[in-house]
Chains A and B, each alone.
Chain A
Amino acid sequence: MRRTLSLVALAAAPVVVLTLFFLLPVGGMLARGLWPDGADGGFDPGAALEVLARPRTGRVVWFTVWTSSAATAVAVLLGLPAAYALHRLRWRGRAAVRAALLVPFVLPTVVVGVAFRQLLREGGPLGFLGLDQTPAAIVMGLVFFNVSVVVRTVGAAWEGLDRRPAEAAAALGASPATVFRTVTLPALRPAVASAAGVVFLFCATAFGVVLTLGGVRYASVETEIYLLTTVLYDQAGAAALSIVQLLAVVALLVVTGRLRRVADATVQRVTARPQRPRRADAPQLALTGLLVVALATPIAALVVRSLRDDGRWSLANYTALQTRGDDGLLVVPATTALRNSLQTAVDATWIALLLGLLVAVVLTGRSRSRAERRTRAVLDGFFMLPLGVSAVTLGFGLLVTLGREPLDLRTWPLLVPLAQALVALPLVVRTLVPVLAGIDDRQRQAAASLGAGPLRTALTVDVPVVARPLLASAGFAFAVSLGEFGATSFLSRADHPTLPVVVVRLLGRPGEQNYGMALAAAVVLAATTALVVLAVERLRVPALGAW
């Protein structure tokens, strides 16, 4: 009983925060759709159901499903050889490539969208392909983002895979391809399933990429929610789509959980010594090289174009960042927006870390009773919820529920950081949980038996192990916050915008100078995020975000 109470006490703070700033707004948003006339009007899902019957809704849902599936498949196919080359082989420059591959994942969606537009638009370096504003461009953008998730997740599993079963199979007469099919792939299946699941999730809820690359012709569920709430003021429709999305995400999480289950859960973890590449490894290395080039191309196009002005090389676009754009489009100069972004990111980071650490401690404690175990399982699902709810829904929900009496928080400086922290929370939790869970409880017992009190035990056993992953997840939270656009676009005030908001605003207006400024701002944003992530990579945390 006392244990359960202390569990509840630890969980209290994150639960309250999540309830107040997540459940309430999202619930409020959904309620607006289902109770269109307010609480007195009665339950009326008719309007919401009518939305689901619209042919456009069907098209949007189908578009989301097929682009996400295609992007997931491509990301897995491209990611597997790279995971092998980067985690099983040893070659010069491996560390650098590994770090570089991490960057796309945290690049602000807006930046990626801009980069691909620049690459594919008429007159752009790859404009002759005629892919601008096509579904193919969207799929490419989604793959760009998520291939590093596959490389990371599968790579970490591959690295820990004992080499000997594969060698035993080879000695039994299995060719390399057969070994891969019958021994390696089954062992990697849980990692591949998790990676594919989470990539699909990220693709299906992607907002910035689809918004910037899809133009007006193509919409996913997420951008449709945005359109319905902000342009058409159709809250019933938005609510209906949000519910569909939430249900789909929950179903997906259940399915990947199933796929992850294996016949024998005991994993023999040994970090296999990476091998020097052999001739047979050439295709994997070549594919990795191609992947790096493919990922670098849009960024390079972005950087090059940002340095051009009037057909000449110049830094004019960058110096323009100190201005408010053509015709004073912006309320504050872009440099101020950058400062806002950094400030917001610092706040979002400490909030996400604080919540994430509490959640991770709660989730990894040892359960002694069934009630405790069940409480933990429920909490686990609860804290993962932000993963499944559209950032747009969250942002709009916060705006409509907290933006009026009795709790008007619209001018509260921590509102935006808090929303961003909630978006980053699942990532932080998923990085910390495996580390904390991996600590053998007997180490704590040994420390205790040697006379260490609870605090001393934590300092001796837990802190050294958690310190680096904590720092790494801080970096990730910071990067996520820097790039967050979905929720921020609703919540940031016009006189206090973040840099992604500014980029989108600049892009939305015609004018050569505005476009150049947008590119320059995107480069600055990308560089800042990349720096943070490369610093994180130096920490060499084995499994960042083990899904």
Chain B
Amino acid sequence: MLRLDDVTVAYDGVPAVAGATLDVPDGSVVAVLGPSGCGKSTLLRAVAGLEPPTHGTIAWDDADLAGVPTHKRGFALMFQEGQLFSHLTVARNVGYALRLRRTSRADVAARVGELLALVGLEGYDDRLPATLSGGERQRVALARSLAARPRLLLLDEPLSALDAGLRERLAGELHAILREAGTTSIVVTHDQEEAFALADRLVVMREGRIVQQGPIEEVWAAPADADTALFLGYARVLEGDAADVVLDAAGLTLAPAVALRRSALTVAADGPLAGRLVSARATPEVTRLVVDVDGVGEVDAVASSGLPAGPGERVGLAVDPGRLARLPRTQHVAG
């Protein structure tokens, strides 16, 4: 198990990570989620031993890793664009860590074949990285990382460089591969979809600090604050009277603020809320609306089929309690 205790990493006195405390249980996949520049990559580099922490300890199974160089930690690191060794073939890239351990030629070949099969790239052995697509390169990078049988796999934005369709497909595959290999992993990403697709625990970072962590459903259901809620994909955060109106309509106890997903309000003629339709936009699955709700202001809503009314006309709305989150407090609402 990896344990970070009050870890601070500073560049020229400016902390990129401040007081991070974090556990990664064996066999789990933890996603570190945060906007770019929040220090999540620095955190990962500190775990890998590429940046020395200025304060705090990083320990594996209660053994402090300070002073253990990267190559002796047994943590494999996979970068955003794969960082394959461009002068080596796919097979030699994947077998790199094995050759370092003086594994016999036959064993290397067997293991490489196995790993390439795992990532769905049989027969790619003799290709050079330059001839691969972005998705194929990422899969080779993953196979290369797994070849070392790392104690911990560190993935830095593994899918961010890929286009949307490929990203979605590869996320599913990566999820399956990580579970199959049973490797403890940390995934750093700025994309909540990627985090949800891969991880079972979530760590949210902002401005160098960990603001929330826990099992993914728990974090998702109860964001710590407004910024976290917005970052996790909630569409709007309401405060004060507006929050009271919505929570009341949902039949929930009152809270200082409430975060709404875009589908929290649905058009229903007999719903507890009513408002004036501001705009509507059809999407393949639902019609997305913006409604000026009485006592609340402009919020997002959905209609299951077609246009419920013309702009400026009034519509009734129902609230889905499962699609909103009560927030303890709001310090600052962005967006």
Residues on A facing B (Cβ under 8 Å): 162, 164-165, 167-176, 178-179, 182-183, 186-187, 262-264, 266
Please report the C-alpha to C-alpha distance between residue A162 and residue B73 in the assembled complex, in whole angstroms. 22
Q: Is the CB of A167 within 8 A of B85?
A: no
Q: Is the CB of B77 within 8 A of A168?
A: yes
Please report the C-alpha to C-alpha distance between residue A182 and residue B147 in the assembled complex, in whole angstroms. 17
Chain A to chain B contacts (Cβ below 8 Å), 26 pairs: A162-B83, A164-B79, A168-B77, A168-B78, A168-B141, A169-B85, A171-B48, A171-B70, A171-B154, A172-B77, A172-B144, A172-B145, A172-B147, A173-B72, A174-B96, A174-B100, A175-B69, A175-B71, A178-B71, A178-B100, A186-B85, A186-B87, A263-B128, A264-B86, A264-B87, A266-B130
B234 within 8 A of A: no
Q: Is the CB of A263 within 8 A of B86?
A: yes
Tell me which residues across on chain B come within 8 A of A179, comparing CB atoms.
71
B132 to chain A, nearest CB (A): 11
Tell me which residues across on chain B come within 8 A of A176, comparing CB atoms.
69, 71
B148 within 8 A of A: yes
A272 to chain B, nearest CB (A): 13
Please report the C-alpha to C-alpha distance between residue A103 and residue B80 in the assembled complex, in whole angstroms. 41
Given A171-B48, A186-B87, 17 additional A-B pairs, CB 8 A: A167-B50, A167-B70, A167-B77, A168-B79, A170-B50, A171-B70, A171-B150, A172-B76, A172-B144, A173-B71, A173-B97, A173-B100, A173-B101, A174-B71, A174-B96, A264-B130, A266-B86
Tell me which residues across on chain A come within 8 A of B147, comparing CB atoms.
172
Tell me which residues across on chain B come within 8 A of A167, comparing CB atoms.
48, 50, 70, 77, 79, 83
B81 to chain A, nearest CB (A): 8
B201 to chain A, nearest CB (A): 22
B34 to chain A, nearest CB (A): 20
Please report the C-alpha to C-alpha distance between residue A187 and residue B144 in the assembled complex, in whole angstroms. 19
Q: Is the CB of B83 within 8 A of A165?
A: yes
Please report the C-alpha to C-alpha distance between residue A183 and residue B72 in the assembled complex, in whole angstroms. 18
Tell me which residues across on chain A come within 8 A of B101, comparing CB atoms.
173
Tell me which residues across on chain A come within 8 A of B223, comparing CB atoms.
none
What residue of chain B has the Cβ atom nearest to residue A169's Cβ?
B96
B129 within 8 A of A: yes
Tell me which residues across on chain A come within 8 A of B70, comparing CB atoms.
167, 170-171
Tell me which residues across on chain B come within 8 A of A266, comparing CB atoms.
86, 130
Tell me which residues across on chain A come within 8 A of B96, comparing CB atoms.
169, 172, 174, 182
Q: Is the CB of A173 within 8 A of B74?
A: yes
What residue of chain B has the Cβ atom nearest to residue A265's Cβ?
B130
Which interface residue of A173, A174, A186 has the most chain B CB atoms within 10 A? A173
Q: Is the CB of B97 within 8 A of A172?
A: yes
A504 to chain B, nearest CB (A): 47
Q: Is the CB of A262 within 8 A of B79?
A: no
Known contacts: A164-B79, A264-B128. The answer to whether A170 contacts B85 by CB under 8 A is no
- Hey, what's the 0/1 contact readout for B108-141 against A, CB within 8 Å counting as 1? 0000000000000000000011100000000001
- Hey, what's the 0/1 contact readout for B274-296 against A, CB within 8 Å counting as 1? 00000000000000000000000
Tell me which residues across on chain B come within 8 A of A187, comparing CB atoms.
86-87
Tell me which residues across on chain A come within 8 A of B83, comparing CB atoms.
162, 164-165, 167-168
Tell me which residues across on chain A come within 8 A of B75, comparing CB atoms.
171
Tell me which residues across on chain B come within 8 A of A178, comparing CB atoms.
71, 100
Q: Is the CB of A172 within 8 A of B130?
A: no
What residue of chain A has the Cβ atom nearest to residue B99's Cβ?
A182
Tell me which residues across on chain B come within 8 A of A264, comparing CB atoms.
86-87, 128-130
Complex interface residues of chain B between 190 and 206 (CB less than 8 A to chain A): none
Nearest 9 interchain pairs by C-beta:
A171-B77, A264-B86, A172-B97, A170-B70, A264-B130, A164-B83, A186-B87, A165-B83, A170-B71
B41 to chain A, nearest CB (A): 11
Tell me which residues across on chain B come within 8 A of A168, comparing CB atoms.
77-79, 83, 141, 144
Contact for B71 among A162, A165, A171, CB less than 8 A: A171
B301 to chain A, nearest CB (A): 43
Which interface residue of A164, A165, A172, A264 has the most chain B CB atoms within 10 A? A172
Tell me which residues across on chain A come within 8 A of B78, comparing CB atoms.
168
Q: Is the CB of B76 within 8 A of A171?
A: yes
Please report the C-alpha to C-alpha distance between residue A173 and residue B145 in the assembled complex, in whole angstroms. 10
Please report the C-alpha to C-alpha distance between residue A142 and residue B147 in the assembled complex, in whole angstroms. 47
Please report the C-alpha to C-alpha distance between residue A167 and residue B101 in the assembled complex, in whole angstroms. 18
Please report the C-alpha to C-alpha distance between residue A169 and residue B150 in the assembled complex, in whole angstroms. 13
Tell me which residues across on chain A come within 8 A of B130, comparing CB atoms.
263-264, 266
Tell me which residues across on chain A come within 8 A of B69, comparing CB atoms.
170, 175-176
A507 to chain B, nearest CB (A): 49
Complex interface residues of chain B between 52 and 75 (CB less than 8 A to chain A): 69-75
Please report the C-alpha to C-alpha distance between residue A179 and residue B85 in the assembled complex, in whole angstroms. 11
A188 to chain B, nearest CB (A): 11
Complex interface residues of chain B between 82 and 99 (CB less than 8 A to chain A): 83-87, 96-97
A171 to chain B, nearest CB (A): 4
Please report the C-alpha to C-alpha distance between residue A479 and residue B147 in the assembled complex, in whole angstroms. 54
Which interface residue of B72, B77, B145 has the most chain A CB atoms within 10 A? B77
Tell me which residues across on chain A come within 8 A of B128, comparing CB atoms.
263-264
What residue of chain A has the Cβ atom nearest to residue B131's Cβ?
A264
Q: Is the CB of B85 within 8 A of A183?
A: yes
Please report the C-alpha to C-alpha distance between residue A417 and residue B148 in the assembled complex, in whole angstroms. 63
Tell me which residues across on chain B come within 8 A of A173, comparing CB atoms.
71-72, 74, 97, 100-101, 148
Please report the C-alpha to C-alpha distance between residue A200 and residue B48 in the assembled complex, in whole angstroms. 42
Please report the C-alpha to C-alpha distance between residue A389 and residue B150 in the assembled complex, in whole angstroms. 57
